[in-house]
Amino acid sequence: MNPNQASKITKRGVGSIVAGLLATAIPPSIVDAVLHATGIYSPAGEAMNDGLFLLALGYRILFTIGGAYLTARIATTRRMGHVVVLGAIGMLLGTMGLVATWNQGPEFGPKWYPIALIVLAIPCTWAGGRLQGRTRSGRTALDAGLPHCA
């Protein structure tokens, strides 16, 4: 592999992670804004009930899986490695959010919510990467005899 090819692969790998981050961050923020604007969520700065945080967790899970799918789709090599990096970045950002909002009041939500975001980051990104892991023939990595997670 020549240096130009290696550089393209590296740029594409980094780009795949950035695309995954954007796909996991921007759409849920838009959904949050819509739910606040429509009155489904409380106005910003006011406490919400656990059911609404469960709703938020649900669509964040879906967007995280989708972002990981996108990361795996864009990456040309070591797709699951890029997906795990995306999950690790998600865990780091979630931990930063947890630390920043811990004991800041009920308007920041229940303590289980940021913990769930941290705990689910890797499993959700793994699921998205595995979902994308289908070969062109429609077979899974397991069917094709490729390395896989049990």
Other beta carbons within 10 Å of 43: 10
Note the pLDDT of residue 45: 83
Note the pLDDT of residue 143: 41
Tell me 121's DSSP state.
Answer: H
Closest CA to 132 of 86, 66, 78, 63: 66
Question: Tens digit of pLDDT for each residue in 59-106?
Answer: 999 999 999 999 999 998 899 999 999 999 999 999 999 999 999 988
The alpha carbon of 30 is separated from its chain's Cα centroid by a whole number of angstroms, namely 15
CB 118 within 8 A of CB 91: yes
Distance CA 124, CA 137 (A): 24
- In this prediction the pTM is 0.84
Give the amino acid at 133: G
Note the pLDDT of residue 42: 92
